[in-house]
Structure 1
Amino acid sequence: MPQIVELVRGDGLGPGARLTEADLAARLQVSRTPVRAALQHLARRGLVEARPRRGFVLRKSVTSLSLDDAPAISDEASELCVEIARDRLAGALPLEVSESDLMRRYQVTRPFLLKVLNRLAGVALIERKPGRGWLFSQAIDDPKARAESFAFRRLLEPAAILMPGFRLDPAWMAEMRARHRAALAAPWRKSSSVDFFEMNAAFHQGIAAGADNRYLLLALEQQNRLRRFVNYDWTFGHERVVASCNEHLEILDRIERGELEVAAALMRSHIDAASRLAHPQLERVDADD
């Protein structure tokens, strides 16, 4: 983050100066999560060096540092959402967790942790247990289940577009176009995966809602809940984000022109492309869209 560069400059630090997550987080009044990410970014650029049990040390003088050397502050809450999703899928977090354990693991304050947990609870990824502790929801975390999910969606979503009376609200379509264009224009960061998935989920649920069939919509909402953790930890690169956004925009254009058969075929192709990306060895698996 640029603030770290500014601190280094202001302190007049030279090569060999020690930088610690705890000190920087306290001075910047943030948790250690974004500080750690920024220091790792600087290390990849060769500007600082990680030292075992010593944190990081400067490798270059302050005159060689610029604000462009560090990423801008990202959404800190989204950063932690991504870390939690990754750790849960990797089995590093158990099904049931306590606030104290999470505070220690991610080195964050209780108010900030509660902000993140309430955000995850709002999209049904975790729920507070009666009494104390939190319980993670089910996720699609094995290839076979994800393959079945995408096979189901491949049947469901094109069919929604072809339902008699299918219609999308023009205001919703305009909002979706604006959100997708903003996503295309914005720089990609790790924390962007959370907003990207939520926009993605809103797009697919909005298409399903156009069929005006409550059971179809409920089925797709369930699919989005099950795949949320997997896609918060985005591993498919910015190129797939660009392709996904453009495919969504093309589907909207076809629907607006009344070319529903074409739109349904594009939706099917869109889901197939996403499937092949994550599991090329399977004909149709998962990748998000």
Structure 2
Amino acid sequence: MPRRISDTLVLQIKQYIGAERLPEGTRLTERALSARFQVSRSPVREALQRLAGEGILEEQADGGHAVAHAGALLAGEPEHSFAPPDPVEQAYFAIAEDRLAGNLPERVTENEFARRYDITRAQLAAVLRRMAQEGWIERLPGHGWRFRPVLTSADTYDQGYRFRILIEAAGILEPTFRINEPALARCRQQQRELLERIRDVTAADIFDANTLLHETIAECSGNVFIVDSLKRLNSLRRLMEYRKSFDREAAARRCREHLDLIDLLLAGQRDAAADFIRLHLRDAAREKSARQAA
């Protein structure tokens, strides 16, 4: 499954500390690490915070980070103890970060991509194929690629959630609503599996599974406009979701709510399910907006 760029950076910074045998107290700055790993500062900042949480780094009074005692001990670990970064995953999330940060223009050539992210043509082809499949970039008829619109601000992100509350609850109450029991059963199994391995899953795992469930419910509505609107909105918000800090406790709570929602639908309690999904989406929007503002 996809790995966020900050996940890769956590491993890279650990490798860097160990390989360079950095002593306790060595300062690590966002600027230097951003230049070293050729990524924007946002994922570096998240990686540093996570390493501080692991005790590898310690936060300084001025807000910076330095190698902690546990970090200095990494020099004694075998070099292969950390998985090597995947250049395709690394380039994918670096492009996503730069696009959301406004560091990439709307139109970009393959030569510009290859130079900026230092990847091979084969790796670039894999990245572009994935981005095109996810709907946030498209090949131009003549030359190069064009980014499609995505949600890039807190305001549009919140508006998207409010729109979802309107159409997803309404979809459950449509006169054409028909339960697809096999599809919902598959979604229920997937949600249970996510709960069982919540400490190992990525933000992309959660996004894909949750999107599948909500779109499956929308398809049960029998209303093609509700289905199309939700799919378009999910495509627009994908990158914003990847960029947000990943709260595993909140993700587990949402999985449990999804299981309750599926049970209501399978029991034929459509009014209760519509009320439930309104509250579910409203609470999720509040949580994610709070994390973004923090």
Could you tell me the TM-score, scaled by structure 2's length? 0.70
CA separation of 1:61/1:93 partners in 2, compared to 1, >3 Å: closer, same or farther? closer
Residues 32 and 108, structure 1, Cα contact 8 Å, conserved in 2: no
Higher mean alpha-carbon deviation, 72-81 vs 218-227, is at 72-81
Distance across 1 between alignment mates of 2:227 and 2:286: 25
Distance across 2 between alignment mates of 1:170 and 1:229: 30
Counterpart mapping for 1:231-270 below 5 A: 231-270=241-280
CA separation of 1:32/1:163 partners in 2, compared to 1, >3 Å: closer, same or farther? same
Q: Aligned pair count?
A: 249
Letter in structure 1 aligned against 2:248: H
74, 79, 95: which is aligned to 2:106?
95
Aligned match of 2:174: 163
Aligned match of 1:118: 129
Distance across 2 between alignment mates of 1:42 and 1:150: 32
Q: SS at the partner of 2:275?
A: helix
Distance across 1 between alignment mates of 2:116 and 2:127: 14
* Residue 138 (structure 1) shift: 0.3
Aligned match of 1:81: 92
Q: Deviations over 1:137-156 (max 9, x none)?
A: 10122233223222221111
Aligned match of 1:277: 287
* Residue 181 (structure 1) shift: 2.0
Q: SS at the partner of 1:127?
A: strand
Residues 83 and 233, structure 1, Cα contact 8 Å, conserved in 2: no
Distance across 2 between alignment mates of 1:16 and 1:122: 42
Q: Which has the larger helix fraction?
A: 2
124, 128, 132: which is aligned to 2:139?
128
* Residue 194 (structure 1) shift: 2.2
- 1:179 paired to 2:229: no
Aligned match of 1:50: none
Counterpart mapping for 1:53-92 below 5 A: 59-60=72-73, 63=76, 65=77, 70=82, 77-92=88-103
Distance across 1 between alignment mates of 2:212 and 2:281: 16
Q: SS at the partner of 1:135?
A: strand
Residues 103 and 113, structure 1, Cα contact 8 Å, conserved in 2: yes
Distance across 1 between alignment mates of 2:173 and 2:264: 13
Distance across 1 between alignment mates of 2:227 and 2:74: 57
- 1:207 paired to 2:217: yes
* Residue 210 (structure 1) shift: 0.2
Letter in structure 1 aligned against 2:263: D
Higher mean alpha-carbon deviation, 232-241 vs 222-231, is at 232-241
Distance across 2 between alignment mates of 1:240 and 1:127: 33
Could you tell me the TM-score, scaled by structure 1's length? 0.71
* Residue 104 (structure 1) shift: 2.9
RMSD: 3.9
CA separation of 1:195/1:103 partners in 2, compared to 1, >3 Å: closer, same or farther? farther
CA separation of 1:16/1:212 partners in 2, compared to 1, >3 Å: closer, same or farther? closer
Q: SS at the partner of 1:91?
A: coil
Q: Deviations over 1:58-85 (max 9, x none)?
A: 944765x279964x56876445433322
Q: SS at the partner of 2:222?
A: coil
Q: SS at the partner of 2:138?
A: strand
CA separation of 1:42/1:204 partners in 2, compared to 1, >3 Å: closer, same or farther? closer
Structure 1 unaligned segments of length 5 or more: list them: 18-30, 48-57
CA separation of 1:42/1:142 partners in 2, compared to 1, >3 Å: closer, same or farther? closer
Distance across 2 between alignment mates of 1:109 and 1:85: 18
Residues 85 and 230, structure 1, Cα contact 8 Å, conserved in 2: no
Q: SS at the partner of 2:105?
A: coil
Letter in structure 1 aligned against 2:217: I
Letter in structure 1 aligned against 2:159: E
